[in-house]
Amino acid sequence: MIEEKLESLGILLPTPPKPAGSYIPVVRTGNLVFVSGQIPMKDGQVQFKGQVPTTISVEDAQKAARLCIINVLAQLKVELGTLDKISRIVRVSGFVNSSSEFYEQPKIINTASDLLFEIFGERAKHSRIAVGVASLPLNSAVEIDLIAETT
Amino acid sequence: MIEEKLESLGILLPTPPKPAGSYIPVVRTGNLVFVSGQIPMKDGQVQFKGQVPTTISVEDAQKAARLCIINVLAQLKVELGTLDKISRIVRVSGFVNSSSEFYEQPKIINTASDLLFEIFGERAKHSRIAVGVASLPLNSAVEIDLIAETT
Amino acid sequence: MIEEKLESLGILLPTPPKPAGSYIPVVRTGNLVFVSGQIPMKDGQVQFKGQVPTTISVEDAQKAARLCIINVLAQLKVELGTLDKISRIVRVSGFVNSSSEFYEQPKIINTASDLLFEIFGERAKHSRIAVGVASLPLNSAVEIDLIAETT
């Protein structure tokens, strides 16, 4: 049970943030679910803002990536009822608010990937992109979206 | 009928722009259609160029996003014959040519999302990403690509 | 036979690079395969680094795009056993490490698209996005990911 795994990791899924725009958090088509880009929002506030490494550190951006994934999972739980319906994480896209001299986007998005492995084990084995972008909504340090396969 | 809806909104779908490269505008696989990134091209010219907000305003970038979606729909109409075959908008990806201090990408891509809702109603409920990028083809202010589900 | 076509083009698929992070190179779901973002890595080193056009030329970035696609194909061959199982290239996403004044991302990603056409013919007809990003992992000039359909 994924929910028990989350509990054992001390992760409490929040009420997920509302979309910052005219769209919805999750769309299902066939047995794929597309999760909208999640930012490091908690209690209605972006917790990790800025550009790596000029105005936010790598360590804090890693925490941002972790929070993005927790929001992804919170959105999926609301949509699916239980995360046990997820048979595979298919794709993770990680966008890091980066200076043009910062080249360690994988180090930041790894925090997201690692958390998925901790939670989902083999089912977490995903493909991924990681890129550095000029800016992100609400000055978020990281934005992550995900495609999963459901049973 | 989506075509009647477009007419009532005063939207005339143009002959869609040709790809600015060696690819095609729309690919179908199973019941998904992938539309290539569309830029705010009209009559063979990019109508809205520049970086938000330094060389183009938020308002004009919103017009750019709207034009991108009109081009997406024009491409889909050519491919599908009729937009009535679209059962669901699955994913919208919005790339905004942004300065590193511009954080309102959602405000710009909302114009695209809102237009989809006006046209497709419930079927428009899509997942979305919105990011700020360093630059776009032909200095476009916005690029939007889309995945839809067909009947 | 795609392998014979590769041979006739003088392309030898390398042992593909390992992911620079906690993810896997290819995920299959249904008859779609998602390939992780590939960078211009060869023999364990990024061959084409920098920002276009400030620290790397358009010509070298084109070579980078070509190498990215070769790595995509190398990953697919490992996963599928043979590239003949690919019935269609569905989507190519090209991220170009760009200055904010560089607008010719299509010219660079065309090199990738053109190579796909040379190799796969009609089956190469793909949808595409091309954007300019602030930075890429390991200072790569280009990152390309791909979705394909398999038989």
Percentage of chain A beyond pLDDT 70 is 99
Tokens of B112: 């695209």
pLDDT exceeds 90 at position C71 = yes
Judged by DSSP in three states, B31 sits in coil
Determine which helix (DSSP H) or strand (DSSP E) holds B105, and give its type and residue range: helix B105-120
Is C23 domain-assigned?
Answer: no
Q: How many CB atoms lie within 10 A of CB C9?
A: 11
Is B141 domain-assigned?
Answer: yes
pLDDT exceeds 80 at position C53 = yes
Compute the average pLDDT of residues A119-147. 97
Is C20 domain-assigned?
Answer: no
Instruction: Give the model's confidence band at A18: pLDDT under 50 very low, under 70 low, under 90 confident, else very high.
Output: confident
Compute the average pLDDT of residues A126-143. 98
* Residue reference for tokens 């698209």: C113
Judged by DSSP in three states, A128 sits in strand
State how far the Cα of C135 lies from the Cα of C115, in Å rounded to an integer: 24
Compute the average pLDDT of residues C102-121. 97
CB B123 within 8 A of CB B87: yes
Q: Which residue of A has its CA nearest to C95?
A: A131
CATH code of the domain in which A45 resides: 3.30.1330.40
Is C115 domain-assigned?
Answer: yes
Is C16 domain-assigned?
Answer: no
Residue span of the structural domain in which A86 resides: 36-150
Percentage of chain C beyond pLDDT 90 is 94
Chain B residues whose CB is inside 8 A of the A51 CB are: 100
Model pTM above 0.95: yes
The alpha-helical segments, DSSP class H, found in chain C are 2-8, 58-80, 105-120
| B37: Cβ contacts below 8 Å, ≥ 6 apart | B93, B95, B137, B143, B144, B145, C128, C129, C130, C131
pLDDT at C73: 97
Is C17 domain-assigned?
Answer: no
Compute the average pLDDT of residues C77-101. 97
Compute the average pLDDT of residues C50-71. 98
Q: How many CB atoms lie within 10 A of CB C139?
A: 21
CB nearest C132 (choices: B23, B24, B136): B136
State how far the Cα of C107 lies from the Cα of C118, in Å rounded to an integer: 17
DSSP state for residue B19 in the 8-state scheme: P
Contact state of A128 with C23 under an 8 Å Cβ cutoff: yes
**How many domains does the structure of chain A reveal?**
1
Is A28 domain-assigned?
Answer: no
Higher pLDDT, A146 or C18: A146
State how far the Cα of A114 lies from the Cα of A100, in Å rounded to an integer: 26
Is B90 domain-assigned?
Answer: yes
Compute the average pLDDT of residues C34-60. 97
Q: What ipTM goes with this model? A: 0.95
pLDDT exceeds 90 at position C21 = no
Selected residue of A107, A128, A143, A149 to mutate for chain C interface (largest C Cβ count, 10 A) = A128
pLDDT exceeds 90 at position A22 = no
pLDDT at B19: 81
Chains A and C form CB pairs within 8 A to the count of 91
Q: What is the mean pLDDT of chain C?
A: 96
